[in-house]
Amino acid sequence: MEKRDYDAIVVGAGPNGLAAAITLQQAGLAVLLIEGKSTIGGGLRSKELTLPGFVHDVCSAIHPMALSSPFFSALPLKDHGLQFIQSPIDAAHPFDDGTAAVLQHSIEDTARLLGEDAQSYKQLITPLVKDWPLIADDALGPLHFPAHPFAMARFGLKALTSATFLAKRFKTQKARGLWAGMAAHAIQPLTNTSTSAIALALMIAGHRQGWPIPKGGAQSIANALASYFLSIGGRIEVDQYIRSLDQLPSSHTVLFDVTPKQLLQIAGHRFSSIYKWQLEKYRYGMGVFKIDWALDQPIPFKAPECRAAGTVHLGSTLEEIRLSEQQSSNGRHAEKPFVLLAQQSLFDTSRAPSGKQVAWAYCHVPNGSVKDMTGIIENQVERFAPGFRDTILSKHVMNTADMEAYNANYIGGDINGGIMDLAQLFTRPALRSSPYRTSAKGLYICSSSTPPGGGVHGMCGYHAAKRALKDVFGK
């Protein structure tokens, strides 16, 4: 190979860009990681958004896949300052009568509160939790023949169904509501095929390793990944927003932690007409409206289980959640939206001054919406925690335009890098022999717009880097 400034360049230092850079550097390459913002992290950033001493996660706050990721778990991130905290309950799902369903580490403890659905829950989830170590690499990667086909089939046959179809296993409001809250993380109508996949993955993660809270904020995950990358010889440059290939130093390969929209802007002139057409047809999903609160005290949830949970799903019944997700997908704003809420400072005291708290929440809205959902979200919290508004000291809100301005990968507020329905689950961003290859030699895409999609797991970056290593360097 001819001499270049670097063997490989990665553009974008989100979790997938960091994972790609680390994987390439581990293979003995000289790697440059370029970030457009002044700090690395992408969706993994934390700031004092409200008042001094209150640390909020700007984008991602809940990391169920962090410990389940085969890539993250193989790295010595503890040696680079990363500490995870587990809440007693991973996720709670309250109802209007003051009760709640919960996701706990123990399958038995989770099932116990589901009444007559206890056995159905155990029959659904126990085999999948047992199988996960065998199928994690395959489930969190591109479509290919799995290493353990029968175990993968047990998961896949359930995962590829709609959440509303699999919900028919359950009879009780609690089990159906808990299931719907998990499935709503898919950010699409619950009637869509494959919406069961995200619900199953989240429940499996909770039962195997919990939904961990990174001490000090989401930024600490990015900082640990960057620290490790630098320790093995990598280089990082920030404040370098790339709009053209001409801005890059010479290298043998470039990997982009961006979505198709930015990739077209940067390198579209290098792509074949067919590949360019596929990227132009790529679909983005619903956006989010997000609020961060500085609070005088913990949120006064009626259900005691909610006061012991790091994550709370607000939406009550399956029917209510199904309606709100369908409305948002159809371009309407729900009056009672599904609200995903995190209360990290209950368990991580570094997030707020003594005796005070932070809370983080979002609801799904139509892509590109700029409607102020503050009152609607706070109504949902107040519904399950009367007196909540009286605890608010300060708040910070972000609509879909604010989200995209802060992280260019969040097109129209879509935090998953494109809708993850069946048509874009395995073939994102284009139908090719490898989803990570572009049509231009040496250029790859490694963002959440590739399999396995959204979530803080780094697997998109890892798989893209492995593809580039084989194609370009024969490794």
Model confidence at 87: pLDDT above 80: yes
Domain assignment of residue 420, yes or no: yes
Based on the domain organization, do 177 and 246 belong to the same domain?
no
Query: Can you read off the two tokens belonging to residue 218?
Result: 């989401």
Identify the pLDDT of residue 3: 72
Based on the domain organization, do 128 and 148 belong to the same domain?
yes
Weakest-pLDDT range from 61-65, 131-135, 310-314: 61-65
Distances (CA, A) of 213 to 87, 300, 346, 439: 8, 21, 11, 39
Q: Are 287 and 386 in contact (CB under 8 A)?
A: no
* Average pLDDT rounded to a whole number, residues 43-51: 97
Domain assignment of residue 144, yes or no: yes
Domain assignment of residue 54, yes or no: no
* Average pLDDT rounded to a whole number, residues 276-285: 97
3-state DSSP call for residue 387?
Answer: coil
Residue 2 pLDDT class (50, 70, 90 cuts): low
pLDDT tens for each residue of 400-411? 999 999 999 999
* Average pLDDT rounded to a whole number, residues 127-133: 97
pLDDT tens for each residue of 164-178? 999 999 999 999 999
DSSP state at residue 250 = P
The DSSP-derived string for 207-241 is HHH---EETT-THHHHHHHHHHHHHTT-EEE-S--
Based on the domain organization, do 330 and 205 belong to the same domain?
yes
Based on the domain organization, do 118 and 246 belong to the same domain?
no
Based on the domain organization, do 197 and 306 belong to the same domain?
yes
Whichever domain contains 119, its CATH number is: 3.90.660.50
Based on the domain organization, do 116 and 143 belong to the same domain?
yes
What integer best gives the mean pLDDT of the chain? 97
3-state helix, strand, coil in the chain (%, to 5): 40, 15, 40
Based on the domain organization, do 253 and 400 belong to the same domain?
no
Residue 1 pLDDT class (50, 70, 90 cuts): low
Residue 356 pLDDT class (50, 70, 90 cuts): very high
Q: For a pLDDT cut of 70, what percent of the chain falls above it?
A: 100
Based on the domain organization, do 197 and 250 belong to the same domain?
no
Q: Residue 90: give the domain boundaries.
A: 84-213+286-406
pTM, 2 dp: 0.96
Domain assignment of residue 312, yes or no: yes
Based on the domain organization, do 142 and 197 belong to the same domain?
yes
Based on the domain organization, do 366 and 441 belong to the same domain?
no
pLDDT tens for each residue of 23-41? 999 999 999 999 999 999 9
Whichever domain contains 468, its CATH number is: 3.50.50.60
Based on the domain organization, do 331 and 307 belong to the same domain?
yes
Model confidence at 156: pLDDT above 80: yes
List CB contacts of 243: < 8 A, sequence separation 6 or more.
Answer: 265, 266
Domain assignment of residue 254, yes or no: yes
Based on the domain organization, do 308 and 279 belong to the same domain?
no
